[in-house]
């Protein structure tokens, strides 16, 4: 009886922790203005997203790759860290790790797996167990669907063994996918009329 109670208490406390956890990036919550975001993390450099022909944001801020300390995430060196802003508010951040195989079979895949094995336990300890996968969902994705937002990890390996592998961790506001669909709708409508 005590064991069942202990397991139920553990499951409840983990769920409660995840539900009460506010998503942030390095202590900066979603919804923060770009100016406040950059004031807190001055190693980010921002540009208009249109200059990169990206429609998923109005402004994009990236960590200066020359700032090696700022490129550390979960004790791993990231290849790219990019924050997205829509209507002046912080809505999404991606941390990417890209590993080159340099012709050595499995080298990039092993680096990716080591990174994944370092990051997933940190996310689980902070946000609880990931959202269960739906039938047919890719095993390469792990996600947390939380009231305060969504966390997604994605592992990708090049089809050419030993060429490259990548691992990405993203955090976004709860309705980020809906925002993206709304932003893409005018372009998709225009493209469908042109067919």
Q: Which residues of 50-82 are buried (b: 16+ CB within 10 A; e: fewer)?
A: eeeeeeebbbbbebeeeeeebbebeebebeebb
The whole-angstrom separation of Cα 81 and Cα 86 is 17
**Residue 34's closest CA among 103, 75, 87?**
87
The whole-angstrom separation of Cα 93 and Cα 90 is 8
The whole-angstrom separation of Cα 90 and Cα 149 is 12
The whole-angstrom separation of Cα 58 and Cα 170 is 18
Mean pLDDT calculated for residue range 25-32 = 93
The whole-angstrom separation of Cα 13 and Cα 32 is 29
Q: Which residue would you say has higher pLDDT here, 35 or 160?
A: 35
Task: Tell me if 4 sits within 8 A of 130, measured CB to CB.
Answer: no
The whole-angstrom separation of Cα 95 and Cα 168 is 6
Mean pLDDT calculated for residue range 65-84 = 91
Among 63-72, 131-140, 166-175, the range scoring the smallest mean pLDDT is 131-140
The whole-angstrom separation of Cα 45 and Cα 64 is 7
The whole-angstrom separation of Cα 188 and Cα 186 is 6
Listed in sequence order, the residues at least 6 apart from 80 whose beta carbon sits closer than 8 Å to its beta carbon are: 62, 63, 65, 94, 95, 96, 98
- Asked if residue 17 has pLDDT above 80, the reply is no
Q: Which two tokens stand for residue 94?
A: 């991606």
Which band of pLDDT confidence, cut at 50, 70 and 90, is reported for residue 78?
A: very high
Mean pLDDT calculated for residue range 165-191 = 85
- Asked if residue 183 has pLDDT above 90, the reply is no
């Amino acid at each position: 009886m005590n064991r069942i109670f202990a397991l139920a208490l553990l499951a409840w406390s983990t769920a409660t922790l995840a539900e009460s956890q506010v998503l942030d990036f390095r202590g900066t919550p979603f919804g923060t203005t770009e100016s406040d975001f950059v004031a807190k993390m001055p190693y980010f450099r921002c540009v208009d997203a249109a200059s990169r022909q990206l429609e998923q944001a109005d402004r994009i801020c990236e960590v200066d790759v020359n700032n090696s300390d700022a490129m550390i995430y979960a004790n791993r060196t990231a290849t790219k860290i990019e924050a997205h802003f829509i209507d002046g508010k912080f809505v999404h951040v991606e941390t990417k790790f890209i590993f080159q195989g340099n012709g050595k079979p499995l080298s990039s895949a092993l680096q990716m797996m080591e990174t994944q094995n370092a990051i997933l336990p940190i996310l689980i300890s902070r946000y609880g167990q990931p959202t269960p996968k739906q039938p047919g969902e890719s095993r390469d994705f792990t996600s947390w669907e939380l009231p305060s937002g969504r966390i997604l990890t994605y592992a990708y390996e090049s089809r050419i063994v030993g060429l490259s592998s990548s691992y990405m961790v993203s955090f976004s506001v709860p309705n980020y996918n809906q925002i993206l669909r709304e932003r893409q709708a005018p372009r998709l409508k225009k493209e469908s009329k042109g067919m």
